[in-house]
A and B are shown apart, each in its own frame.
Chain A
Amino acid sequence: MKFAGIDIGSRTIELVVVDETGDIVLSVQADTGFDPMAEARRLINGVSYDRIMATGYGRNLFEISFDTPTVTEIKAHARGARAFFPEAPAVLDIGGQDSKAIAMFANGKVKKFEMNDRCAAGTGKFLEIMAKTLGFRIEDFGREALHAQKELNISSMCTVFAESEVTSLIARGESPREIARGLHASVIRRAVGMINRVSSEGDIVFTGGVAKNPCMRFLLEEKLGRKVLCPDDPQLIGALGAALLALEIL
């Protein structure tokens, strides 16, 4: 038997299929675009599975369209992270438009969580817009920031305000790399605060698209003072968690 998990996020959709032992047999990804359900339909088209579970902000729409069970991103990430790092007591997930810190009991159940509210401050979208403002490709943004000589202090977390702060730093002649470093650090400070409110010690599993950014991983470990664990493809963790929960449903 095969079990699928689909994570319909604000920026990307991931589909993961696992077998009865929980091993990944298929994983695919697409941009969410303007019609998430059409994209989701395209992704699952031709993929065979016995049961599917949906997560992500589009889960309720998917539930209506495909009559499937759903699970929140929080539970899905906690479960997915555990597949790689069963001992880690906490997860930080930074996705396209939200971020969350999740603490788990030793048995993997969610103990407590925090989530950013309302706006894109401190999320992938924030970094994406800032990369654009500074003229970096999003794929290079983290590497460039990692090689900065110093870290500028950026105080605005609001995407709109931060953009004007960045513009004034450019006008002052600061280097884009160092500004980039400052932006990464400001996102991490916020994330560290969130983690510390739910969990005080132990390793952290870093998931979501933003975990692919090397500067974010480096700064998280540095500023948190705890070991940061990152799965090979951190963007798949939500969908993997949903697939594993589909497997364990009964």
Chain B
Amino acid sequence: MSEDYRSMWTDLGLDPEAHDTLLGVLGKAYGDIYLSQKDRPAGMGYFDFVMSEVHGLRIRELLNEKEAGRKIIGSYCVFVPEEIVLAANATLVGLCSGADFAMEEVEKLLPRNTCALIKSSFGFKLGKVCPYLEISDMIVGENTCDGKKKAYESLNRMVKNLYVMDLPQVKSPQGRALLKTEYDRFRSAAEKLTGFPVTAESLKESIRMVNAKRAAVHRLSSLRKADPAPISGLDALLANQVFFYDNPTRFTESVNKICDELKKRIEEKKGVFPEKTPRILLSGCPQAVPNWKLPFIVENSGAVIVGEESCVGERGTRNLTDESGKTVEEMMEAIVDRYYRVDCAIFTPNPERLEHIQEMVAAYKADGVIHYGLQFCQPYLMESMPVEKALEEKNIPCLRIETDYSMEDVGQIKTRVEAFIEQIRG
């Protein structure tokens, strides 16, 4: 990358050497995992470009937005409503949390038995390697799991602009009321940050923009029902990951372009894997860039991933926001309705998630489910056992994998995944 970016990174307060190391690892992983795939859709070239410029051109764009008076809001969770952010004339970006970094420093602040995702978010801050974090005018934390909500108390001492959103843990009228109160409070905070009041007009436009982005991803998901699969699970996951970083309108166009291409592939019965390749639904914890470990193992062991029941996937993008509201209040209610349906494992009880897993198995004609749990992620690991039991009662094979971002267990996981695929093949 050019020197131009180098001064930009230094100005943002990144550690040049550590950042070079990160980009080196990321570039190599991307080459080994993504570029080595066969028969990728040509439209994936866009995502290759996005990934090659993920800390470069995209950051430059965001800096330009900032110069033009827009604010950047960073988030760690799909419960932070992008509609409200955009309507307040700000841009929402997902913050980095998919790789181990500066672990010795992290473990001075967090217990060792904290999940890799939380540790990673601290590592990117302490290692000074995440430009998105440094560029953000506001960082939104959210009270989801215990690990995250307590970690934000420590993060608050490391960043100057942390905003913590409370979230309900029970789906009840009181729970919904809390979400509404918190979204109203967040709207005021965003307005205060940007100096732009959220109007009926701006909110309507932002709901449309985010819905269009989600609809494009829904279309992509729907095309993955075909056998042979027209796109790899790795590539579809990448689209779901870039969902959190990219300019929304450009993202929507690019995904739709890939969908047009996939539609043709399906008509020609072309796929990235042969017909009748065992089909896997991944379900569980989110997979943030560059956490491609499990999908890489699965798709290099003779199976294809046809869906992600995950925050970086269908749990995050399911359901559009109702666009018919006329007043800000009506549209705020519609936004609350939409997010209130997210079936995150922090809710108790959370029966909708199991229903959705089964719906997805049927819709994508999955032969089995691999439950992906991050070590020490209590909510998803707790749910993995009843999920496995319920699926097996319906004769849907299920494999529970519990892992982190390290590579030391790749051999073990590969054996288990291969055995699971043999089991599916019968």
0/1 string, A66-84, CB within 8 A of B gives 1: 0000011111000000000
0/1 string, A87-103, CB within 8 A of B gives 1: 00000000000100000
Whether B422 and A110, one on each chain, are in contact in the complex, defined by CB atoms closer than 8 angstroms, is: yes
Task: List chain A residues, Cβ under 8 A from B392.
Answer: 112
0/1 string, A133-168, CB within 8 A of B gives 1: 000000000000000000000000000000000000
Closest to A105 in B: B426
Distance in Å: Cβ of B424 to nearest Cβ of chain A: 10
Q: Which of A27-35, A113-121, A124-132, A222-230 contacts B (4 or more CB under 8 A)?
A: A113-121
0/1 string, B250-280, CB within 8 A of A gives 1: 0000000000000000000000000000000
Whether B415 and A115, one on each chain, are in contact in the complex, defined by CB atoms closer than 8 angstroms, is: yes
Task: List chain B residues, Cβ under 8 A from A115.
Answer: 412, 415-416, 419
Task: List chain A residues, Cβ under 8 A from B17.
Answer: none
The distance in angstroms between the C-alpha atoms of A98 and B415, with both chains bound, is 11
Closest to A111 in B: B423
Task: List chain B residues, Cβ under 8 A from A73.
Answer: 415, 419
Given contacts A112-B392, A117-B402, whether A72 and B412 have CB atoms under 8 Å apart is: no
B418 at the interface (CB under 8 A from A): yes
Distance in Å: Cβ of B371 to nearest Cβ of chain A: 13
Given contacts A72-B418, A117-B402, whether A109 and B423 have CB atoms under 8 Å apart is: yes
Whether B423 and A57, one on each chain, are in contact in the complex, defined by CB atoms closer than 8 angstroms, is: no
Whether B422 and A75, one on each chain, are in contact in the complex, defined by CB atoms closer than 8 angstroms, is: yes
Contact of B419 among A57, A72, A118 (CB under 8 A): A72
Distance in Å: Cβ of A55 to nearest Cβ of chain B: 10
Whether B426 and A109, one on each chain, are in contact in the complex, defined by CB atoms closer than 8 angstroms, is: yes
Whether A74 and B419, one on each chain, are in contact in the complex, defined by CB atoms closer than 8 angstroms, is: yes
Whether B415 and A118, one on each chain, are in contact in the complex, defined by CB atoms closer than 8 angstroms, is: no
Task: List chain B residues, Cβ under 8 A from A60.
Answer: 414
B3 at the interface (CB under 8 A from A): no
* Chain A interface residue bracket vs B: 10 to 19
Closest to B409 in A: A118
The distance in angstroms between the C-alpha atoms of A118 and B375, with both chains bound, is 12
Distance in Å: Cβ of B423 to nearest Cβ of chain A: 4
B411 at the interface (CB under 8 A from A): yes
Whether B412 and A113, one on each chain, are in contact in the complex, defined by CB atoms closer than 8 angstroms, is: no
Whether B408 and A110, one on each chain, are in contact in the complex, defined by CB atoms closer than 8 angstroms, is: no
Q: Which of B108-163 contact A (CB under 8 A)?
A: none
Closest to A113 in B: B419
Given contacts A74-B422, A109-B423, A110-B422, whether A117 and B415 have CB atoms under 8 Å apart is: no
Distance in Å: Cβ of B389 to nearest Cβ of chain A: 10
Whether B423 and A71, one on each chain, are in contact in the complex, defined by CB atoms closer than 8 angstroms, is: no
Task: List chain B residues, Cβ under 8 A from A117.
Answer: 402, 409, 412
Contact of A118 among B408, B414, B422, B423 (CB under 8 A): B408
The distance in angstroms between the C-alpha atoms of A75 and B412, with both chains bound, is 15
Whether A113 and B409, one on each chain, are in contact in the complex, defined by CB atoms closer than 8 angstroms, is: no
Closest to A102 in B: B419
Task: List chain A residues, Cβ under 8 A from B409.
Answer: 117-118
Closest to A97 in B: B412
Whether A110 and B419, one on each chain, are in contact in the complex, defined by CB atoms closer than 8 angstroms, is: yes
A-B contact pairs, 23 of them (CB 8 A): A57-B411, A57-B415, A71-B422, A72-B419, A73-B415, A73-B419, A74-B419, A74-B423, A75-B422, A75-B423, A98-B412, A109-B423, A109-B426, A110-B419, A111-B423, A112-B423, A113-B416, A113-B423, A115-B412, A115-B416, A117-B402, A117-B412, A118-B409
Q: Which 10 A-B pairs have the closest CB atoms?
A: A74-B419, A72-B419, A110-B423, A75-B422, A72-B418, A109-B426, A118-B409, A72-B415, A117-B412, A115-B416
Hey, which bits of chain B sit against chain A, CB under 8 A?
392, 397, 402, 408-409, 411-412, 414-416, 418-419, 422-423, 426
Beyond A72-B418, A109-B426, A115-B416: 19 further Cβ-contacts under 8 Å? A57-B411, A57-B415, A60-B414, A72-B422, A73-B419, A74-B415, A74-B423, A75-B422, A112-B392, A112-B397, A113-B416, A113-B419, A113-B423, A115-B412, A115-B415, A115-B419, A118-B408, A118-B409, A118-B412
